[in-house]
Structure 1
Amino acid sequence: MAYCYLLLAIFLELIATNFLKLSAGFSRLVPTIITVSAYCACFYFFSLSLRGIKLSIAYATWSGVGIIFASLLSYFLFKESLTGWQLLGLGLIVCGTIIANLTGGH
């Protein structure tokens, strides 16, 4: 169940981050409310995931998966570019996240 909570936390963090961009520096009310609400829910579920996953592994997974999906979403939703070097870096993050999970123990 801990990994379900972690995946939900990652999903909510991605929602919050994308609405953060849409909030235009917290100057637009609805995106701001969604941002704050999603971040609060995200941290709640992340805290629940820590009952069954080590902090170092949970945070590495959250960060790694979040970075990958945030990059993909920014590419498709906001038409932001990704260079070859950035793609290489994202690939290394994926490798690091996998290694951390495989060797971190639970």
Structure 2
Amino acid sequence: MNRYVALVIAIVSEVFGTNMLKMSDGFTNLLPSMGVIAGFGLSFYFLSISLKTLPLSIAYGIWSGVGTAITAMIGVFVWGDPFNMLIAIGLILIIGGVVLLNAPQKQKVASKMI
């Protein structure tokens, strides 16, 4: 399986599990509670698949950052969570951090001084 496909499935599963957590009402509703377990179980499984070939810092950064951003937007549009300029800036910074984690890194070569 492609490492990024596994990572996308992990993100979607995590977002699903988080929204089921909201719907579970403190684990008092059975079906959403089962959705939490299924969502996070699948999420961690597919995250572990992506970690076979992706560095931890990149995979976890993408998983947590993109998952947080999507969950925040679902919170605004579905759950009526507040949205203001500070939240928008925070989401932009999260997305920027994910982009920077994926930017090609140049390795510095130590030169000998004679």
Range into which the TM-score falls when normalised by the shorter chain: over 0.9
Partner of 2:93: 92
Considering only aligned residues, what root-mean-square deviation do their CA atoms show, in Å?
1.2
Per the alignment, residue 23 of structure 2 pairs with: 22
Highest RCO, 1 vs 2 (Cα 8 Å, sep ≥ 6): 1
Task: For 2:6 and 2:81, locate their aligned partners in 1 and report how far apart those are by CA, in whole Å.
Answer: 29
Partner in structure 1 of residue 34 of structure 2: 33
CA offsets, 1:30-65, max 9 Å, x none? Answer: 000111111111100000000111001100001110
Q: Give the structure-1-normalised TM-score.
A: 0.95
- The structural deviation recorded for 1:92 is 0.8
Question: Where does the alignment leave 5 or more consecutive residues of structure 2 unmatched?
Answer: 107-114
Question: What residue identity is the alignment partner of 2:71?
Answer: A
Contact persistence 1:10–1:66 (CA under 8 A): yes
Identity, in percent, stands at 35
Distance 1:82 1:53 in 2: 33
Does the residue aligned with 2:103 lie in a helix, a strand or coil? helix
Deviating beyond 2 angstroms after TM superposition, the runs of 4 or more aligned structure 1 residues are none
**Could you report, residue by residue, the CA deviation over 1:18-38 in whole angstroms, capped at 9, with x for unpaired residues?**
000000010100000111111
Deviations 1:67-103 (A, max 9, x none): 1100110011101111101110110111111010113
Aligned residue identity for 2:81: E
- Scaled by the length of structure 2, the TM-score of the pair is 0.88
Which entry has the higher C-alpha Rg, 1 or 2? 2
Residue in structure 2 matched with residue 75 of structure 1 by the alignment: 76
Gaps of 5+ in 1: none
Query: Between Structure 1 and Structure 2, how many residues are aligned?
Result: 105
Amino acid at match of 2:64: S
Q: Give the number of the structure whose residues are more often helix, by fraction.
A: 1
The code of the aligned residue for 2:31 comes to V
